[in-house]
Amino acid sequence: MSRNLTLDRVVELTREGHPAARRVLRDSAHILGRVLAGVSNLLNPELVVIGGALAAADEHYLAPLQETLHHHALPIVADQLRVVPGRLGDRAGALGAVALALRDATPLRAHGAA
């Protein structure tokens, strides 16, 4: 593999069955799963959304991530927690920015400001 790999290329190689690419995704999923378990133990979210190229890796990333997260999170947290792929794709950042702008502009309109 090249030293100039992108995440998209690693995901593509993983789908093609490349063992090193699969290992990279699996290892990174385990690392993120442990981190998210700690965060989940503090915040107790119901849902974790994985977006971008990692969401596109499907079961190659989400399954080991969820397995590790559930293993390291408190049972009361893990039992309620779902890990899902994001559905917005490349639009997520732009749509989030618009949502924040609209949320912040709403109080101004409610008070008659322009």
Q: Which CATH number belongs to the domain containing residue 33 in this structure?
A: 3.30.420.40
CA 29 from centre of chain? 10
Instruction: Look at residue 48 and tell me if it is in a domain.
Output: yes
How many domains would you assign to the chain?
Answer: 1
More confident residue, 76 or 107: 76
CA distance 62 to 107: 38
pLDDT digits (tens, 9 = 90+) for 24-70: 999 999 999 999 999 999 999 999 998 888 888 888 899 999 999 99
Residue 55: inside a domain: yes
Angstrom distances, CA of residue 22 to CA of 2, 18, 79, 87, 99? 15, 6, 27, 23, 35
Q: pTM of the full predicted structure?
A: 0.75
Q: How far apart are CA 89 and CA 101, in angstroms?
A: 20
